[in-house]
Every structure is written in C-alpha cells, then in structure tokens.
Amino acid sequence: MTDQINIEVVYALRDEQTLLKKVVPAGCTVMEGIQACGLLDKFPELDLSAHKLGIFGKLTKADTVLRDKDRIEIYRPLIADPKEVRRRRAEEGKVMKKGGGDA
C-alpha cells in the first residue's frame, strides 16, 4: 500500500463551483483533507461546523479516514425544503386548469 492517496474536495456556492485535487498522506481524515487542499484559505467565511460533509453523496463525519480517489463534498443548507416546494406545486396544480391549453 502506498503512503500517499489522491483526493478531491468539492464545494458549490450558488454561482461558483470549486473542485480541488490534492495528494495527501494515507490515513488522512476528511477534515485534514479539506484543510490540506486549501479550501478554507479560498473561502475563509466557510464554517464547516454549519455544513454537512459527505464522500460521493453519502454523509460522513469529519474524522472519517479517507481512501484513495475519495471525493469529499461539503453540503450547503437548503434554501427551501423540497417537500414544501412539491406540496405547494401540488396545491397550485389543483387550482390551475388541467390540460394542454389551446394548441
């Protein structure tokens, strides 16, 4: 086994997406990977305690040990609750006239 692994860290703002690649020592944790890639230097306002973290779409903890080619994802809080948005759309659909309209 090698003593270095390749990782990616992704973070998306509303208008900007950032993907950083880094080679880190084997045994590195999620938090250490985020720090090593320099994301906190690029986004000093980023408070990781307020964000959920994941690896390839699965929630994980900051102390999880990384594997080669892992992609760390930093999730922003949702602006709107998806269930509430669907509920509102369904209510509007009941009020709106069904059908394709005039062709």
The DSSP string of 52-63 is EEEETTEEE-TT
Q: CA 70, CA 4: separation in Å to the nearest integer?
A: 13
Q: Is 90 exceeded by the pLDDT of residue 50?
A: no
Determine, yes or no, domain membership for 11: yes
Q: CA 62, CA 48: separation in Å to the nearest integer?
A: 9
Taking 3-state DSSP, the helix, strand and coil percentages for the chain, each rounded to the nearest 5, stand at 30, 30, 40
Domain carrying residue 67:
4-95
Determine, yes or no, domain membership for 101: no
Determine, yes or no, domain membership for 52: yes
Determine, yes or no, domain membership for 102: no
Tally of domains in the chain: 1
Q: Is 90 exceeded by the pLDDT of residue 25?
A: yes
pLDDT of the residue at 49: 87
pTM: 0.73
Q: Which residues of 81-92 are buried (b: 16+ CB within 10 A; e: fewer)?
A: eeeeeeeeeeee
Residue % of the chain over a pLDDT of 90: 58
Count other Cβ atoms within 10 Å, centred on residue 18: 14
CA distances from 21 to 26, 34, 64, 96, 102 (A): 15, 10, 18, 48, 52
